[in-house]
């Protein structure tokens, strides 16, 4: 272990900063704003947050935590449960912190993930007192090499006053060279991002840090918490097949080739399962340009379907973690991890013409999508990068099963209770019932497509009845709605446990 | 006149295509998809659409019309009223077509204006049979010089099968050289847009057209319909003052300098009036990078406050039209007109760090903004470029008076009835009551700022009562809402003519 540390800690002047997690955690003060590494449970600091959680159990210490995206249990479960978090952003996924957000114990700011770097630059979160960043190594020339995610770590290291590094010796050394760190300058003074192909490298293998900011180095052996996605099922397979057929039609129409365009696939089980569907399809030489590489991407690389995959994090189930991290050399020239400012940058999403596939919590008959709120009030996860991608993609596709709660809930409703993706942003909706291609359509043209192609048969009649009643009452207006009835399916749900009409 | 035409029609091989508006209008067939020039009543074709309107009165001819943005009365009033339009996009503003959209006689697809060029490239609107484009000249080397707007004309000329040119000899020749036409290539094969400063020129002075596509040249002497904006009043002046004070605070915080950042200001009276407020302020060397240059911008150039202004159209009141177009030489090195794909491009908005000021129809207590729909159903104008700008701007600001209909309607409500700009996109809300700076805040942190700073005193108590009842009923969740009451202010309005609680 000593030899490993010796080797991983190339910048020798930092050797004196090595200390225990407890000692490092003592550097943090109540009220601090802390920027942390980590994106979708990957590459997050673990042992210092756990030490902080222990402190928070016994003393009044609450901090603001801004990260790349969702973290593993150390922060988003234990530190949160210990009362150590006042405010959290820009994305969460853990059930622990979700509960505390919805009980009002933790404030949560839900933000587009490509916007954070600008927010750090402008000091929107306040002065960042500490960065806590997981690294696989610190090179002789002062490059911090991130682990399984890059996220916002470069801009956090740049803007934070102090840096605590968790040097994680469990992550394989073969991660060195995987990352591609490019950070745009100030707005109004920056150059175009020089990427014209998603497989290009733009920057360096690590984050250039100011060694004088480093106040602690803590050795960690904690692995990333594995991804919690559930395996594909019959319905996600059906959705994947509908999507593949849609792509085949696009090829026939001359809008895509057999290599498609760079693919982005959102965080979570459904998006992963849909991507899995490519394994048996005829598309080849695929490129993935996403925010997270989940199991499906590595399966597709292994199957020779995907020739290159870029993202800002790698989030794998336990099984895939073992397979990938012990064979990382095999993937070294096929994957790269970029800052989320780059992976999610509107400039690149538009230029490269991405196909974006994200999960909807619910959609409405006019094509608005809710990704975040249950019944308009309770936070589920957050918008994440779905808005960055859907707004600027060549094709903005949303996938969802047509029903939830064993059939009591329809995922298509008259009016969504929270809008994360407006009718102007949603190109295609896919459920296990079928596909609705909404491009170029007026709201009233979308209604029959969405109801007939995407809604579960149990709810079709109910949605038609609402739409027809709205047209009857207010005429054939742009977007017929009866406001007093727009949410009646939720009122049914609250009263009876089912959205169905009684 | 003959001499003028001779001079303006440089490409002599097209002289044989000169014909009357009636003859040109006969080229169009029922069911055609027609792309037209024009953006916010500027630079639109006029005489051919009027001839088409005459035809539509007497025969069954309906076309789909896709433009830059809203057009003058020839298309959006007369042709529409004659039943000549089946479907319209991507933006409207005329009361005539608005009524027909809301009666179901015209279909309307409301789209982000920066997205249209990609939609043309992909053929989303179907095969474009005809382009009808207003020009001030056609040069010897085949460049079509647009008039007072560029809009989508370059991509329409590129993708349309046939082109009809309205050569408008009333527009001054001094427009030649004002335009800067740069068109990105196909997605996945294009270069970065090489603009790092909003005052840069990237392209040519006109649109390169394929002469063999030109099927008609029609001489026109019709001026642009003047802009219909109303002058600033005491309340818009108050809003401007609040905004200027907000900028002063940003300078104190080190986030802006006295030159601010490139300014975008939306279409319409309120945004124009707010911009007018800069005339007496201390900010200098301002740059405007917008989609439309309204009266205020020219007043600010004249006052020496604005050093350069770029947009995709010039839309002026009658008074300013006279002043500007008879002295255009004076502005030649201070303004430029670009394709809307460039003026509204997310790549440039983010890189240049724009300050974006757009008008809200209504906002809610959590910061979502409705720009398009009255009571969730009736189209007002359309989203236009507001989404392109607000999403990607350094500062996304929305302005609205706090009330409408003489005080019967509050512009701030518990839940907006249509979301065009999500809570993730709205940085700042300004009314004549004050400013709410929402950056980095959780929804519940936004509520007191919006209610206390922006809501009209007549409605504050009512909004607090709603919020408190929601917290009471469902607890301190992420975004407290009572769905059965979320729209009760509209129900009051429908029943009593006022949103106020009875």
Taking CA atoms, what residue in B is nearest to A251? B122
Clarify whether residues A196 and A283 are in a common domain: no
Write out the residue range of the structural domain in which residue B195 sits: 2-220
How many whole angstroms separate alpha carbon A305 and alpha carbon B398? 46
Look at residue A2 in the predicted model and tell me its pLDDT. Answer: 84
Look at residue A300 in the predicted model and tell me its pLDDT. Answer: 96
* pLDDT at residue B231 is higher than 90: no
Q: How confident is the model at residue B271 (pLDDT cuts 50, 70, 90)?
A: confident
The CA distances from residue B375 to B361, B370, B382, in Å, are 10, 10, 14
Interface test with A, best of B356, B396, B440 (most A CBs within 10 A): B440
* Sequence ranges of the binding site of B: 266-270, 381, 385, 405
**Where do we find the tokens 């969730």?**
B376
Q: State whether B477 and A124 contact (CB < 8 Å).
A: no
Residue (of A27, A91, A19) closest to A63 by Cα position:
A27
The CA distances from residue B256 to A262, B262, B274, B280, B317, in Å, are 37, 11, 19, 19, 32
Distance from A419 to chain B by nearest Cα, in Å? 6
**Exposure on the CB side of residue B206, measured as CA atoms within 13 A:** 21
Distance from A388 to chain B by nearest Cα, in Å? 9
Neighbouring residues of B276: CB distance < 8 A, sequence distance ≥ 6 = B232, B236, B240, B295, B296, B299
Clarify whether residues B252 and B328 are in a common domain: yes
Clarify whether residues A241 and A196 are in a common domain: no
Distance from B21 to chain A by nearest Cα, in Å? 30
* Sequence ranges of the binding site of B for CoA: 266-270, 381, 385, 405
Taking CA atoms, what residue in B is nearest to A87? B442
Look at residue A268 in the predicted model and tell me its pLDDT. Answer: 80
Q: State whether A373 and B196 contact (CB < 8 Å).
A: no
Q: How confident is the model at residue A230 (pLDDT cuts 50, 70, 90)?
A: confident
Contact B337, B311 (CB under 8 A): yes
Interface test with A, best of B202, B426, B479 (most A CBs within 10 A): B479
Catalytically active residues of A are: 291
Of B102, B350, B387, the CB nearest to A478: B102
Three state DSSP letters for B77-115? HHHHHCCCEEEEECCCCCHHHHHHHHCCCCEECCCCCCC
Q: State whether A478 and B194 contact (CB < 8 Å).
A: no
Of A101, A262, A350, the CB nearest to B347: A350
Contact B133, B153 (CB under 8 A): yes
10 Å Cβ neighbour count for A16?
8
DSSP code for B223: P
Distance from B117 to chain A by nearest Cα, in Å? 11
DSSP code for B474: H
The 10s digit of each residue's pLDDT in B120-144 is 999 999 999 999 999 999 999 999 9
Residue (of A294, A264, A312, A35) closest to A151 by Cα position:
A312
10 Å Cβ neighbour count for B332?
14
* Sequence ranges of the binding site of A for CoA: 266-270, 381, 385, 405
Q: State whether B347 and A352 contact (CB < 8 Å).
A: no
B253: enclosing H helix or E strand:
none
Cβ contacts of A87 on chain B, cutoff 8 Å: 442
How many percent of chain A have pLDDT more than 90?
96
Residue A501 placed within a domain: no
Mean pLDDT over each residue of chain A, to the nearest integer: 97
Cβ contacts of B415 on chain A, cutoff 8 Å: 376
How many whole angstroms separate alpha carbon A296 and alpha carbon B368? 35
* pLDDT at residue A1 is higher than 80: no
Neighbouring residues of A210: CB distance < 8 A, sequence distance ≥ 6 = none
The CA distances from residue A177 to A148, B473, B482, in Å, are 12, 53, 51
Contact B414, B138 (CB under 8 A): no
Mean pLDDT over each residue of chain B, to the nearest integer: 97
Cβ contacts of B85 on chain A, cutoff 8 Å: none
How many whole angstroms separate alpha carbon B349 and alpha carbon A264? 23
Look at residue B1 in the predicted model and tell me its pLDDT. Answer: 74
The 10s digit of each residue's pLDDT in B149-203 is 999 999 999 999 999 999 999 999 999 999 999 999 999 999 999 999 999 999 9
Judged on CB neighbours under 10 Å (0-12, 13-18, 19+), A58 is: exposed
How many whole angstroms separate alpha carbon A265 and alpha carbon A197? 18
Residue B227 placed within a domain: no
Look at residue A274 in the predicted model and tell me its pLDDT. Answer: 83
Look at residue A272 in the predicted model and tell me its pLDDT. Answer: 84
Q: State whether A102 and B475 contact (CB < 8 Å).
A: yes
The 10s digit of each residue's pLDDT in B213-225 is 999 999 999 999 9
Look at residue B434 in the predicted model and tell me its pLDDT. Answer: 98
The CA distances from residue A409 to A401, B197, B268, B271, B296, in Å, are 11, 51, 42, 43, 51
Q: State whether A377 and B474 contact (CB < 8 Å).
A: yes
- Cis bond upstream, residue A90 (ω within 30): yes
Cβ contacts of B466 on chain A, cutoff 8 Å: none
Clarify whether residues B323 and B462 are in a common domain: yes
Of B87, B122, B479, the CB nearest to A255: B122
Q: State whether B484 and A478 contact (CB < 8 Å).
A: no
Residue B328 placed within a domain: yes
| Average pLDDT rounded to a whole number, residues B248-262 | 97
Distance from A59 to chain B by nearest Cα, in Å? 24
The 10s digit of each residue's pLDDT in B313-343 is 999 999 999 999 999 999 999 999 999 999 9
Give DSSP secondary structure letters for A205-273.
SSEE--GGGEEEEEEE-PPPPPP-PPPP-HHHHHHHHHHHHHHHHHHHTTS--TT-S-EEE-SSHHHHH
Q: What b-and-e string marks burial along A442-471, b requiring 16 or more CB atoms within 10 Å of the CB? A: bbbebbebbbebbbbeebbebbbebbeebb
Instruction: State how beta strands A143-146 and A207-208 pair.
Output: antiparallel
Give DSSP secondary structure letters for A145-196.
EE-SB-BTHHHHHHH-SEEEEEEESSS-GGGTTTB-B----STTTPPPP--S
Contact A485, A492 (CB under 8 A): no
Report residue A126 CA to chain centroid gap.
24
Neighbouring residues of B502: CB distance < 8 A, sequence distance ≥ 6 = B492, B496
Judged on CB neighbours under 10 Å (0-12, 13-18, 19+), A351 is: buried
Catalytic entry in B291, B341, B362, B432: B291
Look at residue B379 in the predicted model and tell me its pLDDT. Answer: 98
How many whole angstroms separate alpha carbon A370 and alpha carbon A166? 36
Clarify whether residues A142 and A9 are in a common domain: yes
**Of B150, B185, B220, the domain-final residue:** B220
How many whole angstroms separate alpha carbon B277 and alpha carbon B285? 15
Q: What is the sign of the dihedral through the CA atoms of B459, B462, B465 and B471?
A: negative
How many whole angstroms separate alpha carbon B358 and alpha carbon B112? 14
ipTM over 0.85: yes
Contact B134, B49 (CB under 8 A): no
DSSP code for B74: I
Residue A350 placed within a domain: yes
Q: Alpha helices of A103-152 — where are they, by DSSP H?
A: 116-122
10 Å Cβ neighbour count for A23?
13
Q: What b-and-e string marks burial along A400-431, b requiring 16 or more CB atoms within 10 Å of the CB? A: bbbbbeeeebbbbbbbbbbbbbbbbbbbbbbb
**Of B220, B249, B277, the domain-final residue:** B220
Q: State whether B441 and A102 contact (CB < 8 Å).
A: no
Of B103, B253, B470, the CB nearest to A475: B103
Q: State whether B483 and A470 contact (CB < 8 Å).
A: no
How many domains are there within chain B? 2
**Of A220, A250, A279, the domain-final residue:** A220
How many whole angstroms separate alpha carbon B291 and alpha carbon A121? 27
How many whole angstroms separate alpha carbon A3 and alpha carbon A83? 38
DSSP code for A77: I
Judged on CB neighbours under 10 Å (0-12, 13-18, 19+), A302 is: middle
Cβ contacts of B393 on chain A, cutoff 8 Å: none
Residue B380 placed within a domain: yes
Residue A229 placed within a domain: no
Residue (of A243, A281, A258, A230) closest to A358 by Cα position:
A243
Clarify whether residues B488 and B385 are in a common domain: yes
Look at residue B58 in the predicted model and tell me its pLDDT. Answer: 94
The 10s digit of each residue's pLDDT in A474-493 is 999 999 999 999 999 999 99
| Average pLDDT rounded to a whole number, residues B356-365 | 97
How many whole angstroms separate alpha carbon B145 and alpha carbon A396? 35
Clarify whether residues B296 and B397 are in a common domain: yes
Report residue B137 CA to chain centroid gap.
25
* pLDDT at residue A184 is higher than 90: yes
How many whole angstroms separate alpha carbon B292 and alpha carbon B498? 34
Of A191, A394, A442, the CB nearest to B196: A191
Look at residue B230 in the predicted model and tell me its pLDDT. Answer: 85
Q: State whether B491 and A479 contact (CB < 8 Å).
A: no
Of A194, A253, A481, the CB nearest to B192: A194
Contact B331, B298 (CB under 8 A): yes
Q: Is A427 in a helix, a strand, or coil?
A: coil
* pLDDT at residue B270 is higher than 90: no
The 10s digit of each residue's pLDDT in B85-133 is 999 999 999 999 999 999 999 999 999 999 999 999 999 999 999 999 9
- Per the DSSP assignment, residues forming a β-bridge with B42 are B39
- Cis bond upstream, residue B90 (ω within 30): yes
Neighbouring residues of B6: CB distance < 8 A, sequence distance ≥ 6 = none
Query: In CATH, what number is assigned to the domain containing residue B466?
Result: 3.40.1080.10
Cβ contacts of B246 on chain A, cutoff 8 Å: none
Clarify whether residues A313 and A428 are in a common domain: yes
Distance from B81 to chain A by nearest Cα, in Å? 16
Q: State whether B101 and A478 contact (CB < 8 Å).
A: yes
The 10s digit of each residue's pLDDT in B292-304 is 999 999 999 999 9
Look at residue B3 in the predicted model and tell me its pLDDT. Answer: 87
Clarify whether residues A112 and A141 are in a common domain: yes
Count of CB pairs separated by less than 8 Å, A with B: 233
Residue B225 placed within a domain: no
Of A123, A440, A479, the CB nearest to B376: A479
* pLDDT at residue B52 is higher than 80: yes
Taking CA atoms, what residue in B is nearest to A379? B478
10 Å Cβ neighbour count for A348?
24
Contact B129, B162 (CB under 8 A): yes
Cβ contacts of B477 on chain A, cutoff 8 Å: 102-104, 377-379
Residue A502 placed within a domain: no
Cβ contacts of A253 on chain B, cutoff 8 Å: 123
Clarify whether residues B488 and B376 are in a common domain: yes
The CA distances from residue B451 to A197, A469, B456, in Å, are 47, 34, 8
Q: What b-and-e string marks burial along A192-212, b requiring 16 or more CB atoms within 10 Å of the CB? A: bbebeebeeeebbbbbbbeee
Q: State whether B387 and A422 contact (CB < 8 Å).
A: yes
Clarify whether residues B182 and B282 are in a common domain: no
Clarify whether residues B216 and B238 are in a common domain: no
Contact A318, A297 (CB under 8 A): no
* pLDDT at residue B66 is higher than 90: yes
């Amino acid at each position: 272990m000593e030899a490993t540390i010796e080797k991983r800690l190339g910048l020798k002047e930092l050797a004196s900063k090595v200390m225990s997690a407890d000692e490092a955690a003592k550097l943090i003060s109540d009220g601090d704003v802390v920027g942390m590494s980590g994106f979708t449970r990957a590459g997050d600091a673990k042992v210092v947050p756990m030490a902080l959680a222990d402190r928070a159990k016994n003393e009044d210490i609450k901090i603001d935590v801004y990260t790349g995206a969702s973290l593993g249990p150390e922060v988003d479960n234990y530190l949160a449960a210990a009362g150590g978090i006042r405010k959290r952003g820009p994305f969460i996924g853990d059930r622990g912190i979700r509960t505390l957000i919805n009980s009002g114990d933790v404030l949560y700011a839900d933000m587009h993930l490509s916007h954070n770097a600008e927010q750090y630059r402008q000091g929107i979160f306040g002065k960042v007192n500490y960065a806590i960043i997981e690294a696989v190594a610190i090179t002789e020339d002062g490059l911090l090499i991130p682990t399984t995610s890059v996220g916002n770590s470069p801009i956090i290291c740049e803007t934070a006053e102090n840096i605590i590094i968790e040097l994680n010796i469990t992550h394989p050394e073969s991660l060195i060279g995987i990352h591609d760190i490019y950070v745009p300058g100030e707005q109004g003074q920056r150059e175009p991002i020089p990427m014209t192909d998603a497989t290009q490298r733009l920057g360096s293998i690590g984050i250039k840090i100011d060694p004088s900011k480093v106040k602690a180095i803590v050795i960690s052996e904690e692995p990333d918490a594995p991804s919690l996605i559930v395996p594909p099922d019959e319905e996600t397979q059906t959705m994947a097949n509908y999507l593949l057929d849609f792509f085949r039609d696009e090829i026939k129409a001359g809008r895509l080739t057999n290599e498609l365009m760079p693919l982005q696939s959102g965080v979570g089980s459904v998006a992963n399962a849909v991507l899995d569907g490519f394994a048996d399809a005829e598309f080849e030489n695929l490129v993935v340009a996403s925010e997270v590489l989940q199991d499906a991407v590595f399966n597709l690389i292994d199957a020779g379907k995907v020739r290159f995959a870029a993202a800002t994090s790698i989030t794998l189930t336990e099984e895939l973690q073992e397979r990938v991290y012990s064979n990382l050399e095999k993937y070294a020239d096929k994957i790269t991890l970029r800052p989320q400012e780059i992976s999610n940058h509107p400039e690149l999403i538009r230029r490269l013409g991405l196909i974006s596939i994200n999960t909807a919590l619910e959609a409405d008959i006019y094509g608005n999508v809710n990704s975040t709120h249950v019944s308009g009030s309770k936070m589920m996860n957050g918008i994440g990068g779905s808005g960055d991608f859907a707004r600027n993609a060549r094709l903005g596709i949303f996938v969802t099963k047509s029903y939830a709660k064993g059939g009591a809930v329809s995922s298509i409703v008259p009016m969504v209770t929270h809008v994360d993706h407006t009718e102007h942003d949603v190109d295609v909706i896919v459920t296990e019932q079928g596909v609705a291609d909404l491009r170029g359509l007026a709201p009233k043209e979308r209604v029959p497509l969405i109801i007939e192609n995407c809604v579960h048969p149990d709810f079709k009649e109910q949605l038609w009845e609402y739409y027809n009643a709205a047209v009857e009452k207010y005429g054939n207006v742009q977007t017929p709605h009866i406001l007093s009835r727009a949410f009646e399916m939720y009122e049914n749900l609250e009263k009876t446990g089912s959205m169905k009409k009684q």
